[in-house]
Amino acid sequence: MSAGRGYGPDHHGGHAPSPAANGISVSGSSGPDRASLVLGVAAIVSAGFFFIQRGDLSLVRVENAAAVAAALGFGALAVLGGWLARRWLTIAAGAGFAVATAIQLLQLGRDTNWFGGTGSTFSFWLGLAVGLLAVGLTPRTAGPRARRRTDHTTGGE
Amino acid sequence: MWVMTTAPAAAAPDAPHARSPLGRGVLAVVRVGVALLWVQNSGWKIPPDFGQGDPPQGLYAFARHAVDHEVFGPFAALMENLVLPNFALFGWLTLLLEASIGAFLLVGLATRFWALVGAGQSVVIALSVANAPNEWVWSYLLMLLAHLALFATAAGRYGGLDGVLRPLWQRSGSPLARILVRAS
């Protein structure tokens, strides 16, 4: 999954004001926001595997309405999180996929399988969950130790 | 699948392996393709018995090849005496490991670490089934080589989350960030 190019205002000094903080909604305003958007689009696109349930092109098992709803719902949250530069939406999407992933894992091979998925569903959603949570939870400004290091090298200016 | 354009390589000291947009795009496609190999093949490893039974099926049948069509003696002995008698446990470990390889390579997170794990698992699979009937040994050698290429090129830095988040991890002082810098 290609999640963005990684070169945005946040990556060069971190002093650029957040568009969201200015009340301006800008699509793909930073690398992490673009990544959230791309991961959300991938989740939404994956719902299309509902129509490809057999054969070599069935890369991910998306078998029932619950799985489609999870992919579309959490995917839309991730897209919104990236589009509006709202990290909490990205984290919510990641948390949603994490819960769905855990449920899918616990129900693999059982008669009760709410999402009707297999290990492929588990693996795909695991990627979306860890990816969105990593994007949402990674601090976008330098930590105290890194700031001290920078202050030291620049003479504290 | 949306492969975003990337900035010039001159602006990317952490991404020295592919200097053209085409090169970076190809690396991203290879990474996603290899990831989908693991994702899709997590689908037929079905708990709780993973194919144990008469006749053996699924993962258990493939694991038996390591003993019935031995590739490497010590590995066959390990499979016969440790893995096959405790197959439910090793089935779960296999499923979780391979699903995780697919998941992390798919989004390009901690890619170098997971590429090495994938290379290791490719060796395990080769040692299990390379001598089995109707198997093509180059399949597994190609798997191994693909993962080594993903590791050598740090492929997650091209269109993956490593490329997005690594600069932030490098600026952070946290232990987890330092681990992720090394893993990416």
A30 within 8 A of A21, measured Cβ to Cβ: no
A135 to B165: CB separation less than 8 angstroms, yes or no: yes
A123 to B163: CB separation less than 8 angstroms, yes or no: no
Distance CA B153, CA B162 (A): 12
B159 to A2: CB separation less than 8 angstroms, yes or no: yes
Residue type for A129, please?
A: A
Q: Provide, as residue numbers in chain B, all residues whose Cβ is less than 8 Å from the Cβ of A121.
A: 43
Quote the minimal CA–CA distance from A31 to chain B in Å.
6
B109 to A6: CB separation less than 8 angstroms, yes or no: no
CB-nearest partner of A126 from B99, B169, B173 = B99
Q: How confident is the model at residue A53 (pLDDT cuts 50, 70, 90)?
A: confident
pLDDT at residue A144 in the model: 55
Distance CA A132, CA A28 (A): 15
- pLDDT, tens digit, 9 for 90 and up, residues A137-156: 999 875 555 555 544 544 43
Distance CA A11, CA B171 (A): 9
A135 to B164: CB separation less than 8 angstroms, yes or no: yes
B107 to A39: CB separation less than 8 angstroms, yes or no: yes
Tokens of B131: 């001598």
Q: Which candidate, A89, A70, A88, places its Cα nearest to that of A80?
A: A89
Count the alpha carbons within 13 Å of B28 in the hemisphere toward its beta carbon.
Answer: 26
pLDDT value at A30 more than 90? no
Distance CA B29, CA B26 (A): 5
pLDDT at residue B19 in the model: 79
Quote the minimal CA–CA distance from A33 to chain B in Å.
10
A134 to B169: CB separation less than 8 angstroms, yes or no: no
A89 within 8 A of A32, measured Cβ to Cβ: no
Q: Provide, as residue numbers in chain B, all residues whose Cβ is less than 8 Å from the Cβ of A119.
A: 42-46, 95, 98-99
Distance CA A142, CA A47 (A): 37
Residue A75: alpha-carbon gap to chain centroid: 8
pLDDT at residue A25 in the model: 42
- pLDDT, tens digit, 9 for 90 and up, residues B91-103: 999 999 999 999 9
Q: Provide, as residue numbers in chain B, all residues whose Cβ is less than 8 Å from the Cβ of A1.
A: 1, 32, 35, 106-108, 160
What's the whole-model pTM score? Answer: 0.85
CB-nearest partner of A31 from B48, B99, B164 = B164
pLDDT value at B48 more than 70? yes
Where do we find the tokens 């130790």? A145
- pLDDT, tens digit, 9 for 90 and up, residues B116-171: 999 999 999 999 999 999 999 999 999 999 999 999 999 999 999 999 999 999 99
Residue A105: alpha-carbon gap to chain centroid: 19
Q: How confident is the model at residue B15 (pLDDT cuts 50, 70, 90)?
A: low
pLDDT value at B106 more than 80? yes
pLDDT value at A2 more than 70? no
Q: Which candidate, B49, B81, B64, B87, places its Cα nearest to that of B133?
A: B64
Residue type for B131, please?
A: N
- Percent of chain B clearing pLDDT 70 (strictly above): 92
Contacts 24+ apart (CB under 8 A), B115-124: B115/B147, B115/B148, B115/B150, B115/B151, B115/B155, B116/B147, B116/B151, B118/B34, B118/B38, B118/B143, B118/B147, B118/B150, B119/B144, B119/B147, B119/B148, B119/B151, B121/B97, B122/B147
Q: Provide, as residue numbers in chain A, all residues whose Cβ is less than 8 Å from the Cβ of B109.
A: 130-131, 134
Supply angle C-alpha B3, B6, A20, rounded to 5.
Answer: 85
- pLDDT, tens digit, 9 for 90 and up, residues B50-78: 999 999 999 999 999 999 999 999 999 99
Q: Which residue of A has its CA nearest to B5?
A: A5
Burial degree of A51 (CB within 10 A; 0-12, 13-18, 19+): exposed
Q: Which candidate, B54, B168, B47, B36, places its Cα nearest to that of B105?
A: B36
Residues 6+ apart with CB under 8 A from A49: A58, A59, A60, A61, A62
Weakest-pLDDT range from A8-12, B28-32, B57-61: A8-12
Q: Between A4 and A77, whose confidence is greater?
A: A77
DSSP for A98-124?
Answer: HHHHHHHHHTTTSS--TT---HHHHHH
SS3 call for B15: coil
- pLDDT, tens digit, 9 for 90 and up, residues A114-138: 999 999 999 999 999 999 999 999 9
Query: Would you call A106 an interface residue with chain B, using a CB distance cutoff of 8 Å?
Result: no
If phi over 0 gives left and psi between -120 and 50 gives alpha, with beta otherwise, what is residue B4?
beta
How do the domains of chain A map onto residue ranges? 29-153
